[in-house]
Amino acid sequence: METNVIEKVFGIDVFNDDRMREKLPKDVYKSWKKTLESGADLDTDIANAVAHAMKEWALEHGATHYTHWFQPMTGVTAEKHDSFLSPATDSRPVLVFSGKELIKGEPDASSFPSGGLRATFEARGYTAWDCTSPAFLREDAAGVTLCIPTAFCSYTGEALDKKTPLLRSMEAISKQAVRILRLFGYNDVKKVSCSVGPEQEYFLVDRDKYLQRKDLIFTGRTLFGAPAPKGQELDDHYFGTIKERIAAFMKDLNIELWKLGVLSKTQHNEVAPAQHEMAPIFATANISTDHNQLVMEVMKKVAKRHNLECLLHEKPFAGVNGSGKHNNWSIITDTGINLLDPGKKPHENTLFLLFLAAVIKAVDDNAELLRLSASNPGNDHRLGANEAPPAIISIFLGEQLEDVIEQIVKGDADASSSIQGGQLDTGVHVLPVIRKDATDRNRTSPFAFTGNKFEFRMLGSSLSIAGPNFTLNAIVADALQDFADELESVENFDSAVKELIKKTIIEHKKVIFNGDGYSDDWISEAERRGLPNIKSMVEAIPYLVCDKTVKLFERQNVLNRVELESRVEINYEIYSKTINIEAKTMIDMAGKQYIPSIISYLTNLADSINSVKAASSDADVSVQTELLNKCSSLLAQAQKALANLKKVTAEAANKEEGKEQATFFKEVVFTAMEELRAPIDELEMIVDQDYWPVPTYGDLLFEV
């Protein structure tokens, strides 16, 4: 039998554990594994041996270059390629790759966003090998390149990227979780890691049509566009049959991802027309983060092969659903215990209840921070804007846990029962008997317990998952540290731990909400409960440097005040620059495409009125005249809005960088953009389609 394609290609481009074992001398491999497990500093000899093995393997696969692959604050990945070539003594080339080159790189840091860190410190930046995420090969027109996942820091050690705080946060949560586990007698656990499975939503549109839309090219979303006659109202796209062209894309995407060791698992059509989703099997947080970056990169690349364009923007089209990323997250020990698995009898599972209490406390205490971690300019179109999920952070626990929690709150710290799943009655005898879960799902919750993990559903689709995950890890680590501090000194552990669970739940119960997160009632109810409702990214940014946050991130060694302050600046800058590009694109399209086309149409209409009149002075030209008047008046409105947008965009440039400028962009420029869009979209529905200068929503969403 022929080998299955998955078996054939899986991991062939990854320098994984098997390859290491194959290529390294036995004793070196052993000490390498030991270093990895203990987290100790890497010995130079081992680094040299690993580098040599890596190089041999890469050369066998045709690699000419290597690169330190890193994740600066731009949110996308960066790389600078070096060939393996080294000065040769005779005329033959010598190919070299040393341990030093593997461990450390020195890209010039001066052109990456650093939010003032560079001004205070140095232009020098270092990339440091993240030896816990395997190196991989990437093949493109440049040839084959060996990519080494790295973290990126300044000369004085400040994090200049998203990976460094993620790695720090993984150590933080491991340290605190292990303290708790010791108290429960789990002395064999040495390390705890966070598992993450991100579901990735995306749109695919025809590339020829994409190339005719400057807004998609420059900003990733449509800045104009009237709704198509059909949207998502029939619910016929969600889980619908996948079109051949899309299926061919998905097949290719899977193969490319499997080659890179990404555990691509599910694929389906999403709610909006032309929208799809892919989810991998979960992996350790840093690997999952690397993989998600690769997923986004490979989606874009593979789409082009099919003459498609992959849109990862959170809101490419107004009026239909946008795209997000669901971040499934859990904590698992190195002995294989999922600490968020309630088991069959959660009410008796004190260890689980304590970790659950830590998550509830962490989320309630740091809701603003979590909200910020999921924000980017694109996600502002979703969060709090009547689309999945609302901007208010709440936790969905489901019927079973809600019931256990009620018992704990009411009773004397000991809950006595757990609701069980039971059997599903379909009313059809030929169908097999299905056991159902103890809890239904809730699609409207931003932070939902889903059986043995939490699903953080607020993330924007284009966002790096590093930020949300280092935030989650850090806040939960902090809650666990409080717990460990308290419990390590008590005499009667059993009763103290139950008391602590009860006390924590009573204090933070307000963040738990099992109802409909999309309803207006919830907004007022949340307000009564005192839960924050932060409507935009700009309003969320200051929480990154509020006292509470600085204290927490410093205590967990994830980010210090200086690093946090730099991130505040970067966030404001990203917001302002994004809206500025959008405004300039609108000015360009309105001035050079829409308005001239509308004028041509109007001229044609006026000519036709004149010629009809000339042919017969009695002819009724009321239809043409009405159209002419309507369009002329909308055109005048558009021209006025365009002038205003130009004016306020110029004004924005003179505002003080940071909060003031970002707020101006949000409140003034963004509003002016909407005022320009409205008349043009209205005109789109009236003007003869032969005159319309760009593909419409109908063309983009339905003609893939």
Q: Using CB under 6 A as the criterion, which residues of the chain lie in contact with ligand ADP when the complex forms?
A: 195-197, 199, 266, 279-282, 328-330, 338, 452-453
- For residue 443, the minimal CB distance to Mg ion (Å) is 8
- For residue 168, the minimal CB distance to ligand ADP (Å) is 20
Q: State the binding partner of 65 from Mg ion, ligand ADP, none, CB within 5 to 8 A by kind.
A: none
Per-residue tokens: 701: 């969403």
d(CA 317, CA 360): 35
Closest by alpha carbon to 103, among 129, 136, 70, 131? 129
- For residue 328, the minimal CB distance to Mg ion (Å) is 7
- For residue 327, the minimal CB distance to ligand ADP (Å) is 9
Q: State the binding partner of 338 from Mg ion, ligand ADP, none, CB within 5 to 8 A by kind.
A: ligand ADP
Using an 8 Å Cβ cutoff, are 259 and 9 in contact? yes
Beta carbons within 8 Å of 567's beta carbon, 6+ residues apart: 73, 115, 544, 559
Residue 326 as a binder of Mg ion (CB under 5 A): the answer is yes
- For residue 294, the minimal CB distance to ligand ADP (Å) is 15
Give the interface size with Mg ion as a residue count (CB under 5 A).
1
Residue of minimal Cβ distance to ligand ADP:
197
Closest by alpha carbon to 663, among 579, 593, 602, 592? 579
Task: Give the HSE-up count for residue 665: Cα atoms under 13 Å, Cβ half-sphere.
Answer: 28
Q: State the binding partner of 55 from Mg ion, ligand ADP, none, CB within 5 to 8 A by kind.
A: none
* Measured torsion, CA atoms of residues 265, 342, 336, 133, in degrees rounded to the nearest 10: 50
- For residue 484, the minimal CB distance to ligand ADP (Å) is 23
d(CA 216, CA 221): 5
Q: Which residue has the tokens 């292990």?
A: 178
- For residue 397, the minimal CB distance to ligand ADP (Å) is 16
Using an 8 Å Cβ cutoff, are 603 and 632 in contact? no
Using an 8 Å Cβ cutoff, are 161 and 286 in contact? no
Closest to ligand ADP by CB, 281 vs 546, is 281
Closest to ligand ADP by CB, 328 vs 549, is 328
Per-residue tokens: 374: 């999921």
Q: State the binding partner of 197 from Mg ion, ligand ADP, none, CB within 5 to 8 A by kind.
A: ligand ADP
Q: State the binding partner of 195 from ligand ADP, Mg ion, none, CB within 5 to 8 A by kind.
A: ligand ADP
Q: State the binding partner of 222 from ligand ADP, Mg ion, none, CB within 5 to 8 A by kind.
A: none
Q: State the binding partner of 279 from Mg ion, ligand ADP, none, CB within 5 to 8 A by kind.
A: ligand ADP
Q: State the binding partner of 564 from ligand ADP, Mg ion, none, CB within 5 to 8 A by kind.
A: none
Amino acid at 154: S
Burial call 438-450: b when 16+ CB within 10 Å, e when fewer? bbeebebbbbbbb
- For residue 536, the minimal CB distance to ligand ADP (Å) is 27
Closest to ligand ADP by CB, 162 vs 453, is 453
Closest by alpha carbon to 327, among 439, 473, 509, 519? 473
Closest to ligand ADP by CB, 267 vs 632, is 267
Closest to ligand ADP by CB, 234 vs 281, is 281
- For residue 312, the minimal CB distance to ligand ADP (Å) is 17
Residue 65 as a binder of Mg ion (CB under 5 A): the answer is no
Residue positions counted in the chain: 704
- For residue 267, the minimal CB distance to ligand ADP (Å) is 9
Residue of minimal Cβ distance to Mg ion:
326
Closest to ligand ADP by CB, 147 vs 474, is 474
- For residue 538, the minimal CB distance to ligand ADP (Å) is 30
Closest to ligand ADP by CB, 32 vs 282, is 282
Phi, psi for residue 512 in degrees, rounded to 5: -85, 130
Closest to Mg ion by CB, 43 vs 516, is 516
Tell me how far CA of residue 313 lies from CA of 56, 72, 333, 388, in angstroms.
39, 19, 35, 15
Residue 508 as a binder of Mg ion (CB under 5 A): the answer is no
Closest to ligand ADP by CB, 199 vs 403, is 199
- For residue 320, the minimal CB distance to ligand ADP (Å) is 19
Rounded to a whole number of angstroms, the distance between the first and last alpha carbons of the chain is 36
- For residue 196, the minimal CB distance to ligand ADP (Å) is 6
Closest to ligand ADP by CB, 339 vs 383, is 339
Closest to Mg ion by CB, 326 vs 498, is 326
Q: State the binding partner of 407 from ligand ADP, Mg ion, none, CB within 5 to 8 A by kind.
A: none
Closest to ligand ADP by CB, 199 vs 365, is 199
Q: State the binding partner of 284 from ligand ADP, Mg ion, none, CB within 5 to 8 A by kind.
A: none
Q: State the binding partner of 460 from ligand ADP, Mg ion, none, CB within 5 to 8 A by kind.
A: none
Closest to ligand ADP by CB, 328 vs 576, is 328
Q: State the binding partner of 258 from Mg ion, ligand ADP, none, CB within 5 to 8 A by kind.
A: none
Burial call 473-487: b when 16+ CB within 10 Å, e when fewer? bbbbbbbbbbbbeeb
d(CA 590, CA 640): 11
Q: How many Cβ atoms from other residues are within 10 Å of residue 301's Cβ?
A: 15
Left, alpha or beta for 78 (phi > 0: left; psi -120 to 50: alpha)?
Answer: beta
Closest by alpha carbon to 291, among 464, 479, 59, 508? 464
Amino acid at 114: S
Q: Which residue has the tokens 């962490």?
A: 362
Q: Is the dihedral of CA 532, 534, 537, 542 positive or negative?
A: negative
Residues that bind Mg ion (CB under 5 A): 326
